Amino acid sequence: MKINILVAEIGSTTTVVNAFDGIFNGRPKFLGQGQAPTSVLEGDVNIGLKGAIESLKENLGVDNIEYDELIATSSAAGGLRMTVHGLVYDMTVRAAKEAALGAGANIKQITAGRLRRTDIKKLKEINPNIILIAGGVDYGERDTAIDNAEKIADLDLDVPIIYAGNIENQEEIKEIFKDSKNKLYVVENVYPKIDQLNIEPTRKVIQEVFEEHIIHAPGMTKVRSMVTGPIIPTPGAVMLSSKLLKEEIGDLVTIDVGGATTDVHSVTEGSEEVNRILISPEPTAKRTVEGDLGAYVSMKNVVERIGIEELSKRLNISEEQVNKLIENHKPIPENDMEKRFVEELALEATITAVDRHAGHFRHLYGPGGKKTVAEGKDLTNVKYIVGTGGALTRLPNRVKIMKKIAESNKGNDLYPNKEAKILVDNMYIMASLGVLSKKYPESAVMLMKESLKID
């Protein structure tokens, strides 16, 4: 069977392969999907990829598959490890962090001010895939970023460096890394003026660096040789889809409860009312990743948050039976009780992740009396809540889980309201369409609307 494009999504627990046809003639069609456990532990993610292709053949009822293009997303082996080093946490460091997370990176270290010996020690232990240096508004403070760049250059690490700080430092930074092993990328300042974020140029470069430099899981070298197009981080692909979808239907938040993490992507400017009292700026497109919230790898953390006794009540079974579910937990639930168990995990992960992502109202008291301010990301203008990932596309009560977001608002949270419409990525193809959109945006939009059942 000849197929236009295969998209491989290599996750931390599952590898999914999606088949698309009609991409080249403007009549895109989703043909089917195959999946298999990701084989990081076997030392070669190719095993999982081949297993997913075999699963696809079986689902399509064919003996052989040929394809014109193979593109991929990956979050296996912890994804893209980054460290971020800026000047003031609430300004340049936070802006750099937003850019990194939006591109699909996992932030392993954040520092503000000059790097200390303990910071340098931790940086070496992390062995990041990319180092991002920021600091200083344009034509403002210069010395901190220069000092940090010199210390990082002295480490002699073979790691790409992105500089996204004060533009006055650009020539100096180039000079510092001129003879080092590091490939240097100089981009526009992520925080050029007070209260102004400029994260898109950095976000774009992070994804380009990932493609060019990162082989971040066993066997990825072989995958790279098979892939004819781009490989981008899976969360970055979901963000691309979310941004594309926002242009079509309006403000939205996309939630992905995975095996290891729960990611929340929001694309909204927020409401005028909240923006007037917002303490500090927020990006239009924001991503947060919660490494302690997942339905498989991070399952025990979520169970701990809920409590065995509470789970016993919710599932209407004994605590002993709950412990058996935990002990025998699988990447993909099979029977009804296992699905109900994962639904409770997904509910806790969803509500907690949205709470961490969203902003809140705060009341300040001073000589003039009480003043209300807003802090963090405003989701009150969101028109759609989109569920993607295994849990929120496959569980029987996925819509109920997402409806609980608005219901859990304590009154001072900047959550989506109850009128927000729930959309489900029924075909589980949102990440695949993100990477597909880099070359075929129109086809990606058409397929996205079909998966979400939007007319």
Classify residue 228 by its DSSP letter.
S
Q: What is the mean pLDDT of the chain?
A: 90
For domain 232-451, give the fold. Answer: Nucleotidyltransferase; domain 5 (3.30.420)
CATH number of 80-213: 3.40.50.2300
More confident of the two residues 72 and 195: 72
The mean per-residue pLDDT over the stretch 218-238 comes to: 77
Residue 410, pLDDT score = 87
Going by pLDDT thresholds of 50, 70 and 90, the confidence category of residue 21 is very high
Is 60's pLDDT higher than 70?
A: yes
- Contact 426/393 with Cβ under 8 angstroms? yes
The mean per-residue pLDDT over the stretch 155-164 comes to: 93
The mean per-residue pLDDT over the stretch 62-80 comes to: 81
Residue 208, pLDDT score = 80
More confident of the two residues 382 and 49: 382
More confident of the two residues 281 and 120: 120
Residue 36, pLDDT score = 87
Poorest-pLDDT segment among 96-110, 218-232, 240-254: 218-232
Is 184's pLDDT higher than 80?
A: yes
The mean per-residue pLDDT over the stretch 176-188 comes to: 94
Residue 218, pLDDT score = 55
Residue 78, pLDDT score = 53
Residue 39, pLDDT score = 67
* Residue with tokens 């209300």, as numbered in its chain: 372
- Contact 384/347 with Cβ under 8 angstroms? no
Q: Which residues contact 285 (CB under 8 A, 6 or more apart)?
A: 102, 239, 242, 243, 265, 266, 267
Sheet (strand 285-290) strand order = 285-290, 262-267, 252-257, 384-388, 421-424
Provide DSSP, 29-66.
Answer: EEEEEEEEE--GGGT-HHHHHHHHHHHHHHHHT-S--E
Going by pLDDT thresholds of 50, 70 and 90, the confidence category of residue 244 is very high
Residue 225, pLDDT score = 72
How much of the chain, in percent, has pLDDT values that exceed 70? 94
pTM: 0.82
Is 314's pLDDT higher than 90?
A: yes
Residue 155, pLDDT score = 94
Residue 390: exposure state from Cβ atoms within 10 A (0-12, 13-18, ≥19):
buried
Q: Which residues contact 141 (CB under 8 A, 6 or more apart)?
A: 87, 135, 166
**pLDDT (tens digit per residue) in 255-272:** 999 888 899 999 999 999
Residue 220, pLDDT score = 65
Going by pLDDT thresholds of 50, 70 and 90, the confidence category of residue 429 is very high
Is 279's pLDDT higher than 60?
A: yes
* Nearest Cα to Cα of residue 2 among 52, 70, 68: 68
Poorest-pLDDT segment among 211-220, 337-346, 395-404, 443-452: 211-220
**pLDDT (tens digit per residue) in 90-143:** 888 888 888 887 776 778 899 999 999 999 999 999 999 899 999 999 999 999
The token pair that represents 182 in the structure block: 């590091």
Sign of CA dihedral 382, 376, 193, 85: negative
More confident of the two residues 369 and 52: 52
Residue 103, pLDDT score = 73
Residue 380: exposure state from Cβ atoms within 10 A (0-12, 13-18, ≥19):
buried
CATH 3.40.50.2300 domain locations along the chain: 80-213
CATH 3.30.420.40 domain locations along the chain: 2-77+217-229
User: Homologous superfamily of 2-77+217-229 in CATH?
Assistant: ATPase, nucleotide binding domain (3.30.420.40)
- Contact 132/209 with Cβ under 8 angstroms? no
